[in-house]
Structure 1
């Protein structure tokens, strides 16, 4: 069984690859990182998106739709999750904002993402 440090390192690498996929604006590549029954909850848009079809709608509306690019700022391992801070740039009012993701995992897949803007 891997120790916590090994697990958080693997999770950070997974999140880094997920962000790289996000920036390609390829919905299939983005969705490949999620468990089939994953939930992405983003209070800033007032909705939780369930399953890959719901998460695809979120991605197409808020990442592809605004030509959003995401930059990883920092990660912090927490009990059973990873806290991620990011910067977003894109074609939205102000052109730049910060955000966070609190991510829980199911193996090598994202099971739940709690998103928020800073």
Structure 2
């Protein structure tokens, strides 16, 4: 899989995130994916728990995500984004370090906020 293919998948995933449609969002993850977000102090194992994260921090806060950059690194993609929504800051930067499978499914995400 090329960096261009991975970047395209990440762009599609961000677009899916902004629809707030859980089925579309979750389709990008493997069944056993892990999402680790130190900014909320939790690790979310599997699609059901990742859905809890999505509902809590994206749907419930009407969060919109704008893709700023994608940088291929040794074993993952480093993605910088900007979040806007109905949360205290109103606008805040964030990062995702994403590991994908050969068939372009998200296996692991480390998400964090830039404060």
TM value normalised by structure 2: 0.96
Query: Aligned-pair distance for 1:106?
Result: 1.3
Residue aligned with 2:11, SS: helix
User: Where in structure 1 do 4 or more consecutive aligned residues deviate above 2 Å?
Assistant: none
Q: Deviations over 1:72-95 (max 9, x none)?
A: 000100012100000000000020
Mark the runs of 5 or more structure 2 residues left unpaired by the alignment: none
Q: Structure 1 CA distance, aligned partners of 2:8 and 2:97?
A: 15
Secondary structure of the corresponding residue to residue 80 of structure 1: coil
Instruction: Give, in angstroms, the shift of residue 8 of structure 1.
Output: 1.0
Q: Give the 5 Å matches for 1:1-118.
A: 7-107=2-102, 108-118=104-114
Partner deviation per Cα, 1:21-57 (whole Å, 9 max, x = no partner): 0000000000000000000000000000010000000
How many residue pairs align between the two structures? 113
Aligned to 1:44, the other structure's residue is in SS state coil
Distance in structure 2 (CA, Å) of the matches to 1:27 and 1:34:
11
SS in 2 for 1:55: helix
